[in-house]
């Protein structure tokens, strides 16, 4: 918006170790100073063209009117540090941070910034949203805002970063062929032939083919953030995978029949444990024996079973999650966060391991 920017302390470098001064409350969360808007037209402006026309390539670098790239950079670091803010839920943090990220994108668009730093911020925002898509999947059906993945009028000059953002965008559009083509059509060749886009397209093709086993296998091999986004369709694809197993494996009779281990089922369906696999097998009408084995039953149809609930934490993804957090340059998640893997709460060393991951 065309307004006095929030005061993100331009005059002196911020010392990360020094706590911020007292901020006024914003919805009960003490996170940022917001000055009174002084520009009368700001509240009614719709952004976009008006801002672009006024501020494109402006020589005016006064922090009072527009956030300079340096201010935007400090804002990004400050927002990343908020994930460690005590006494807040991840959901409320997400709402605030995504809103502030949107404001940063608006500033980038209004000033038509296209430096390497800007590309990195856009990629960071896309990664944050991809990460949150999985962390909050149990909380909301709709999922976080997907606008962060739409480059819009920004110019992303880094091919690798553009490919990464495009891959995340494709994974959100897995069910819409027209939207997928709208995304892919105008991209340059280097982006289209990149590894990021290739794996996103492989996931899309598995989804389009209705091959649940292949889709889950691709998730298993994918990078963590790709897993986060692809995981939104994992429950539906598990149902299809069970249907595939029911068709392809015989009931237990004859010398070619026989039970299969639940560990194999857990691996194939990307489940956390054999116990979880047993629950899934029972829901699909499969029979269990006493030796942690199951027998497939014909006649199971994916539509017969309601979609399985989404799970925020996959055991197989925990280690990758830790690596990803360190690579994303986010502050380590503190032990006070309310979203914790059930297994992590029983294994405090896993939490402390995460906490030890420092920037």
Partner 1 sequence: MKCSRPSRTKQRFGNFGHRPAYSCAKLFRTISYPRFHIFGLTKLDIHSAKQVGPRHGSLGDFQGLLNAIRSFNGAKVARLLSLDNEAQRLAVRQGSSPNGTLPESALRYIHTRTCGLVHDCKEHWAVVLRSHYLCLAALLSNNHDQAFLHMADYISDMNSIFREENGAWMVPVVTQTAEALRLLANKADEQLLSQRQHQCRKEAAGSWLQKFYSTAKTLKGNQNKSMALLPVVNTMFKLYFKLNTLRNCKPCIQAVEHPNFSFTSFPQSERVTYKYFAGRLAIFQDQLAKAEADLEYAFNHCPADAWHNKRLCLYFLVPVRLLAGSLPSEAHLAAFNLQIYIPFVQAMKSGSTQQLAAALKQHQVELIRKGVYLQLVKLQPIVMRRLLKRSWVINREGNEKGHLLPLGQLQKAIRWQQMDMDEDDVECAVANLIHKKYVKGYISHKNQVLVLSKADPFPAVSAQQI
- Minimum CB separation of residue 227 from partner 1 in Å reads 18
Asked if residues 215 and 233 have their Cβ atoms less than 8 Å apart, the reply is yes
Binding residues for partner 1, rule: CB under 8 A, are 177-182, 184-186, 189, 192-193, 198, 201-202, 204-205, 208-209, 211, 213-214, 217, 243-245, 247-250, 255-258, 260, 264, 267-268
**Which of residues 14 and 260 has its CB atom nearest to partner 1 in the complex?**
260
User: Which of 337, 341, 344 lies closest to 90 in space, CA to CA?
Assistant: 337
Find the shortest distance in angstroms from Cβ 255 to partner 1: 8
Q: Is the dihedral of CA 242, 142, 224, 173 positive or negative?
A: positive
Task: Provide the minimum distance between the beta carbon of 101 and partner 1 in the complex, in angstroms, as a whole number.
Answer: 25
Task: Calculate the alpha carbon distances from 54 to 3, 105, 151, 276, 352 in Å.
Answer: 12, 17, 21, 58, 49
Q: Between 61 and 248, whose beta carbon lies closer to partner 1? A: 248
For partner 1, the closer CB: 252 or 326: 252
- Report residue 212 as tokens: 């649940």
Look at the chain and count its residues. Answer: 359
The Cα 234–Cα 232 span in angstroms is: 6
* C-beta closer to partner 1: residue 5 or 204: 204
Q: Rounded to the nearest whole angstrom, what is the least distance from the CB of residue 276 to partner 1 in the complex?
A: 19
Nearer to partner 1, 82 or 217 (CB): 217
The b/e string for 28-39 (b: 16+ C-beta within 10 A; e otherwise) is ebebbeeeeeee
Measured from the CB of residue 169, what is the shortest distance to partner 1 in angstroms?
14
């Amino acid at each position: 918006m065309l307004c006095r920017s929030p005061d993100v302390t331009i005059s002196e470098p911020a010392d990360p170790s020094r706590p911020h001064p007292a901020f006024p409350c914003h919805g009960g969360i003490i996170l940022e100073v917001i000055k009174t808007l002084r520009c009368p037209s700001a509240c009614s402006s719709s952004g976009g063209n008006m801002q672009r026309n006024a501020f494109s390539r402006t020589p005016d670098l006064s922090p009072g009117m527009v956030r300079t790239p340096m201010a935007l950079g400090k804002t990004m670091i400050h927002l990343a540090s908020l994930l460690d803010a005590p006494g807040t839920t991840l959901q409320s943090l997400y709402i605030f941070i995504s809103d502030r990220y949107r404001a940063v994108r608006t500033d980038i668009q209004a000033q038509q910034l296209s430096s390497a730093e800007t590309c990195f911020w856009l990629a960071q925002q896309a990664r944050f949203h991809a990460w949150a898509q999985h962390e909050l999947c149990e909380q909301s059906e709709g999922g976080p805002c997907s606008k962060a993945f739409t480059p819009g009028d920004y110019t992303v000059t880094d091919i690798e970063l553009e490919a990464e953002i495009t891959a995340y965008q494709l994974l959100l559009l897995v069910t819409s062929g027209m939207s997928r083509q709208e995304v892919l059509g105008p991209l340059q060749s280097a982006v289209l032939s990149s590894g990021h886009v290739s794996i996103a397209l492989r996931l899309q093709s598995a989804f389009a083919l209705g091959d649940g086993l292949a889709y889950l296998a691709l998730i298993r091999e994918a990078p963590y953030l790709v897993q986060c986004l692809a995981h939104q369709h994992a429950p539906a694809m598990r149902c299809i995978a069970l249907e595939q197993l029911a068709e392809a494996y015989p009931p237990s009779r004859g010398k070619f029949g026989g039970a299969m281990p639940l560990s194999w089922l857990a691996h194939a369906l990307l489940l956390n444990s054999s116990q979880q696999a047993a629950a899934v097998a029972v829901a699909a009408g499969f029979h269990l024996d006493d030796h942690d084995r199951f027998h497939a039953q014909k006649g199971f149809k994916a539509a017969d079973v309601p979609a399985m609930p989404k799970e925020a934490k996959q055991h197989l993804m925990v280690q990758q999650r830790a690596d990803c957090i360190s690579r994303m340059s986010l502050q380590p998640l503190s032990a006070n966060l309310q979203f914790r893997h059930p297994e992590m709460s029983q294994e405090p060393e896993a939490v402390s391991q995460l906490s030890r991951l420092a920037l």
